[in-house]
Amino acid sequence: MTTVLGRGTCGGHITLLFTVEDLDEDPIKQGSLGAGLCLTDGAEAIARGELGDYSLEVKLLDGNGDKRMFQQVLDLLSEEIPSIADHSWEITVRNKLPSSQGFGMSAAGAIAAAAAFQRALGLPHEESLRRSLAIAHLVERGNSTGLGDVTALAAGGVERRLNPGSPYSGPNLLNGPGQAEGWSESIPLVLAWRANPGRHTSEYIDDDDWKQSITEAGVKQMAHLSDGPWDKSRWSELLDSAEAFSKQSGLSDDASRSTLVKAGENATFRAGLDSDTSVLLCMLGESIAIVPRNISKNISLEKLLSELTKEGLDTTLTHIGTLS
């Protein structure tokens, strides 16, 4: 029996500031304004299909992720690509970052899986990529696991989201309504997180009070971040806006995130990097990203890993991703 194979990959994403734009009944038009960082590390998916009864077996190599999401991806794909339903599928997924920690891993996993299924059937790369992003956005909104991660990943690098919504939609997979743009440099960053995540993203973006405080803070910061060209000259401004957003929204004081930031600051001080780095909250996990303040200055962040471990945090070193 003929077996088809396909592989898909997608980096993760950190939201630094955002708004909640979910009033439209059409999930394609839901999303967020905001800014964040796309990552080199993320999700990898290998799809294997054989002609037969429509089914899916999901294998999570590290036990990290939501199996149900991959069935949702496959079902939505089968509505657009009838030959999907002619196969019995298996998908193997490896996540290089933990889920439910503000690293955009549900979006990355959905995009990688959708790409893997389509590539197994030999569909063109650009068509598959656009459809993967559109499908992942619908899955994200259906599960309240994210707002703007998919649109951010459609841009890549250091991104800003200027219009909410899916990056691609419609039968021809044309642009919009979501709009984002990015720039990229090989900037190192350290991610650190508590082993057991607390509140789910939906507990914030589906709560009216949180939506109001988050959106008001996000609108205030995007009022100036949306203006002018978007390039590496805006890096310091982005860091300042991220810190202001975390305080104005109230998120820095929720779920003991202030102690998490303090742990990061303690680690950077002991490593002698406190004057060269910023400790930023990742929205909406219980995690932080430690980034260089001056991206033109070559500094090593590896020494931070052991210092963060002393604070009881799990860590990894990664980089800003390329443009999509």
8 in the same domain as 77: yes
What CATH number should be reported for the domain holding residue 198?
3.30.70
Which pLDDT does position 62 carry in this prediction?
79
pLDDT over threshold 70, residue 198: no
Q: Which of 114, 149, 183 is the last residue of a domain?
A: 183
Q: Measured between alpha carbons, how far is 14 from 271 in angstroms, rounded to an integer?
A: 24
In a domain, 65, yes or no: yes
DSSP 239-285: HHHHHHHHHHTSGGGGGGHHHHHHHHHHHHHHTT-TTTEEEEEPBTS
154 in the same domain as 249: no
Range of the domain at 257: 188-319
Please say whether the beta carbons of 307 and 271 come within 8 A.
yes
Closest by alpha carbon to 13, among 45, 46, 29, 35? 35
* Across 7-32, average pLDDT: 97
217 in the same domain as 169: no
What are the beta bridge partners of residue 11?
Answer: 42
DSSP 43-85: EEEEEEEEESS-EEEEEETTS-S-HHHHHHHHHHHHHH-GGGG
What helix, strand, coil percent values describe the chain, rounded to 5?
40, 30, 30
Residue 175 banded pLDDT, cuts 50, 70, 90? confident
The predicted-structure confidence for 55-101, as pLDDT tens digits, reads as follows: 999 999 977 778 999 999 999 999 999 999 999 999 999 999 999 89
53 in the same domain as 83: yes
157 in the same domain as 18: yes
What are the beta bridge partners of residue 161?
Answer: 34, 180
Please say whether the beta carbons of 133 and 93 come within 8 A.
no
Q: Measured between alpha carbons, how far is 119 from 287 in angstroms, rounded to an integer?
A: 34
In a domain, 133, yes or no: yes
Q: Which of 183, 206, 240 is the last residue of a domain?
A: 183
In a domain, 140, yes or no: yes
In a domain, 243, yes or no: yes
Q: Give the contacts of 59 (CB within 8 A, at least 6 positions apart).
A: 90, 91, 92, 93
Averaged pLDDT score across all residues of the chain: 95
161 in the same domain as 91: yes
Q: Omega before 284 cis (within 30°)?
A: yes
Residue 190 banded pLDDT, cuts 50, 70, 90? very high
Give me the number of domains the chain comprises. Answer: 2
Which pLDDT does position 119 carry in this prediction?
98
In a domain, 240, yes or no: yes
In a domain, 148, yes or no: yes
53 versus 284: the higher-pLDDT residue is 53
In a domain, 168, yes or no: yes
* Across 301-312, average pLDDT: 97
212 in the same domain as 71: no
Which pLDDT does position 205 carry in this prediction?
83
215 in the same domain as 154: no
What CATH number should be reported for the domain holding residue 159?
3.30.230.10
What are the beta bridge partners of residue 188?
Answer: 319
Q: Measured between alpha carbons, how far is 190 from 131 in angstroms, rounded to an integer?
A: 31
154 in the same domain as 284: no
Please say whether the beta carbons of 178 and 165 come within 8 A.
yes
214 in the same domain as 115: no
247 in the same domain as 284: yes
In a domain, 324, yes or no: no
Helix, coil or strand: residue 211: helix
261 in the same domain as 173: no
pLDDT over threshold 70, residue 228: yes
pLDDT over threshold 70, residue 178: yes
Q: Which of 139, 160, 183 is the last residue of a domain?
A: 183
Which pLDDT does position 1 carry in this prediction?
65
